[in-house]
Amino acid sequence: MSLPNDLTLLTAAESRKLLDNHEISSVELTHAYLTRIQEVEPKIHSYLHLMTDVALSQANAADKRIEHGQIDDLTGIPVALKDILCTTDAPTTAASKILDGYMSPYDATVVTRLREQGAVFLGKTNTDEFAMGSSTENSAFGPTINPWGENRVPGGSSGGSAAAVAAREATISLGSDTGGSIRQPAGFCGVVGLKPTYGRVSRFGLLPFASSLDQIGPFARTVEDAAIMLRAIGGHDPMDSTSVPIEVPNYEAAFRQDLAGVKIGVAKEYSVDGMEPGVDAAMKAALQQLQDLGAELVPVSLPHTEYALATYYITAPAEASANLARYDGVRFGNRIEGDNLIETYMRTRGEGFGAEVKRRIMLGTYALSSGYYDAYYVKAQKVRTLIKQDFDKAFESVDAIVAPTSPTVAFELGSRTDDPYAMYLADVFTIPANMAGIPGISLPCGFSDGLPVGMQLLGKSFDETNLLSIAHAYEQAANVYQELAHI
């Protein structure tokens, strides 16, 4: 392949070939990204912490590894990390004042695995505070801007990671998905975003939001790159009791060019009032493309989907209430002194947490309180089981389920900040997969009013191989990536 004028146009797979053939060096590739970051970061604000010195040191080390033939998939590849993943050589703040400047004494498992591969860390990306939000406007350090529109949100909570890949400020990035926080921003920013099966990727070192829902996954420009990253970070981890000991396969080996014999479910529950006409049109074209590739579209029903949003906003805040109790100004993080211990707690948490985090802590504490636990939290877990059973039944007759990633394209900055319910509806199509623990991927399927539209594919638990194969076949036929590469 010929070298592009700008190395940031390369995918991870393309960069791998050039690095291994000694046509470029990791130092050159890293410098290209650092230059790109300097050019666009004042406008986009994808990053909270740049790791320039670390990146250049890692790039030098990667070049030496390549020279000696010690090559892994991500050796020398510049990546970005969502700032809720613990790192020993850069702050981990969760975009919150309560952790401003906090340095972790250990790395998250996914960070350790990337270090072992010889990846290059460009920096830590912006997020809604403690991953609570759908627009990255809840960050204590300012919002991230969608590269496709200066007045548009990038989605959330992993908006910084999505925007970094879309704006060519990183080859690949990592985010986390609790209710759609990888897939929704991927859809808004026109990139690929993958939420693995719950338990596929270790959560050790991920600052927790809702422990039974959180899952780490990649943003990439292509399905192939997402598969490469998942293979690098996936697999059992004894440090995480929810990590499942299932072998991580070679996903790319199963890629196919057509979908002959594949059955894809279309659920009527994913067609809702408020769907933008442009999103609907892009989805209809995508469904036709899937059929042209040989797939059979099969009507399926997920009857409890309508309860997923309500179930989520009982479950997730309840778990957040428990998880965030640790931020008390005593053990770590910022401390604001009061006249006594209780006042110190109140001042630290009152001034350290933002409005959305406080809202969810209060919702969760209420749902767990005496007299309401059975009425709300226990009932929500029963409904969650019904949601999972809906998917289990549907997957008896189909290989995957297709749906829009979001009912709208990226909305305007500030347009929903005063209306939490409208903000929560941005995740109405992504939340059910988290409640069921199944994998989901968002990939570009067109445009509406000049903004990207995302298509979501959902698969059976631990069947990312089939999910990625279907996504890859669609991506190659639709050729949307070529439209997005030169943003």
What are 450-465's pLDDT values in tens digits? 999 999 999 999 999 9
The average pLDDT across 342-361 equals 94
pLDDT at 5 over 90: no
pLDDT at 487: 60
Judge whether 327 and 333 are in contact, CB under 8 Å.
Answer: yes
CATH number of the domain encompassing residue 27: 3.90.1300.10
pLDDT at 486 over 60: no
Please tell me which residue in 15, 82, 243, 460 is annotated as part of the active site.
Answer: 82
pLDDT at 185: 98
Backbone angles phi, psi at 172, to 5 degrees: -140, 160
32 domain-assigned:
yes
Q: Which of 140, 124, 119 is nearest to 48 (CA)?
A: 124
pLDDT at 80: 98
pLDDT at 419: 87
**161 in catalytic set:** no
164 domain-assigned:
yes
The average pLDDT across 30-57 equals 98
Please tell me which residue in 139, 181, 243, 406 is annotated as part of the active site.
Answer: 181
pLDDT at 308: 96
Please tell me which residue in 15, 157, 461, 469 is annotated as part of the active site.
Answer: 157
pLDDT at 479: 85
pLDDT at 380 over 60: yes
Judge whether 455 and 401 are in contact, CB under 8 Å.
Answer: no
Structural domain of residue 175, as residue ranges?
7-256+440-484
> How far apart, in whole angstroms, are the C-alpha atoms of residue 438 and residue 196?
7
431 domain-assigned:
no
AA letter at 294 = G
Which residues touch 257 (CB under 8 Å, ≥6 apart)?
Answer: 473, 476
pLDDT at 1: 65
**Percentage of the chain lying above the pLDDT 70 cut:** 98
The average pLDDT across 75-86 equals 98
165 domain-assigned:
yes
pLDDT at 213: 97
What are 214-263's pLDDT values in tens digits? 999 999 999 999 999 999 999 999 999 999 999 999 999 999 999 999 99
**469 in catalytic set:** no
Confidence of residue 481 (pLDDT cuts 50, 70, 90): low
Return the SS3 of 448. Answer: strand
Pairing of strands 296-300, 263-267: parallel
pLDDT at 347 over 90: yes
The average pLDDT across 200-222 equals 97
Which residues touch 414 (CB under 8 Å, ≥6 apart)?
Answer: 137
The average pLDDT across 112-135 equals 98
> How far apart, in whole angstroms, are the C-alpha atoms of residue 127 and residue 47?
9
320 domain-assigned:
no
353 domain-assigned:
no
The average pLDDT across 459-487 equals 87
pLDDT at 342: 92
pLDDT at 333: 86
471 domain-assigned:
yes
pLDDT at 320 over 60: yes
pLDDT at 324 over 60: yes
pLDDT at 129 over 60: yes
> How far apart, in whole angstroms, are the C-alpha atoms of residue 191 and residue 146?
12
**181 in catalytic set:** yes
356 domain-assigned:
no
Confidence of residue 484 (pLDDT cuts 50, 70, 90): low
Instruction: Say how many domains are in the chain.
Output: 1
The average pLDDT across 74-95 equals 98
Least confident residue range of 142-156, 295-309, 419-433: 419-433
